[in-house]
Amino acid sequence: MVKHSVNKLPKNTVELLVEIPWEIILKQYDKAFDVLAKDLQVEGFRKGKAPKSVAQKHIPKDRVYDAAIRAYLPEVYEELVKKEGIKPIAQPKIDLIEAKENETWKVSFKIPLAPAVKIKGYREIVTKAKQEAKKTEIWVPGKDEKDVQPDPNKQKEAVLQAVLNALVEKIDVEISDVIVQEEVNARLIKLVEDLQKLGISLDQYVQSRNTTIEKLREQLTKETTETYKLEFILQAIGDEEKVAVEKEDIEKMMGALQNEKERQAFLRNGYYYASLLRKQKILELLVNL
């Protein structure tokens, strides 16, 4: 029988520590082996028909264990998360702590949770940020007023950015390291892939920018953390202000699409587009407060 414990970690993260008896591992190993053997092609035998003793010589143990764990761990995870009433907001970070033959295996699932966002006083933060932003729009003595042609759109963007920066700075939101580091790693991998297409190494890239890989990771971590903070803050404000996407909003967006292909994509990803619409309405609310 699988044993487990739940540990609370900092920054809205919990850890599931799971102990899996060897008997279960062995059973999962046999199941994984049978699946792999069905696709095994050995000379002198039809595909998947090689005797087990022959197949064992052609399928490495590590490959079987890897397949067994990949198939079994999601099943264990889903069962325990449901049992404990844990509500993840993203995939867990999985670490195989102990994995020896004929012994109990130990696995750690670090699970990110939604942060509690306290937005009391956010209207005052928004108002002050807008006032500060508008100070930069005041005419400066010595400049010909005719030469100053304010762009309303740029002014609106500047005010909105000032508001968002203030919300991130003033409202405390703890984001799980699990989702932050997952995103940072994904961004670094994408960067390396893009650089490789240009024939540039990551070391060359950071040197050209007079920085280091460590500092680059720190910068990406800061940016990612602030992005997630802002998303949770905006969601909380939307909930507080009861911002909702109405049927008319959906129809208006649908009507703006140029062709049938775009409309079909919209219908397939309705939730995603609805979330974008809601976010836009929240941003408009902040600008107009």
Contact (CB, 8 A) for 66 and 97: no
Task: Answer yes or no: is pLDDT of 147 > 70.
Answer: no
CATH of 3-112, one of 2.60.120.10, 3.30.70.1050, 3.40.50.2000, 3.90.550.10: 3.30.70.1050
Domain ranges for the chain? 3-112, 122-171+218-288
Per residue in 206-239, pLDDT (tens digit) is: 999 999 999 999 999 999 999 999 999 999 999 9
In this prediction, residues 163-182 reach a mean pLDDT of 95
In this prediction, residue 150 carries a pLDDT of 67
pTM: 0.83
Task: Of 47-61, 75-89, 91-105, 230-244, give the lowest mean pLDDT range.
Answer: 47-61
Instruction: Report the DSSP beta bridge partners of residue 94.
Output: 109
Q: Which residue has the higher pLDDT, 170 or 246?
A: 170
Q: pLDDT at position 153, please? A: 80
pLDDT > 70: percent of the chain: 95
Q: What is the pLDDT of residues 177-190, one digit of tens each?
A: 999 999 999 999 99
- Of 77, 93, 73, 80, the residue nearest 24 (C-alpha): 73
Mean pLDDT of 22-35: 94
Percent of the chain with pLDDT over 90: 68
For residue 268, what are the CA distances in angstroms to 62, 163, 244, 259, 265? 40, 33, 20, 15, 5
The answer on pLDDT for 277 being more than 60 is yes
Cα separation, 32 vs 173, whole angstroms: 43
Containing 189, the helix (H) or strand (E) segment is helix 177-197
Query: Please, are residues 129 and 162 in contact by the beta-carbon 8 Å criterion?
Result: yes
Is residue 138 pLDDT above 90, yes or no? no
Residue with tokens 């999962």: 28
DSSP 113: B
Which pLDDT score, from 0 to 100, does residue 258 have? 73
pLDDT reading at 149 higher than 70:
no
Report the amino acid identity of residue 7: N
Q: Which of 8, 13, 4, 58 is nearest to 36 (CA)?
A: 58
Element (H, E) at 17: strand 13-20
Q: How confident is the model at residue 155 (pLDDT cuts 50, 70, 90)?
A: confident
pLDDT category at 146 given cuts 50, 70, 90 is: low
Provide the token pair at 260.
Answer: 């049938």
Do residues 128 and 166 lie in contact, with contact meaning Cβ atoms separated by under 8 Å? yes
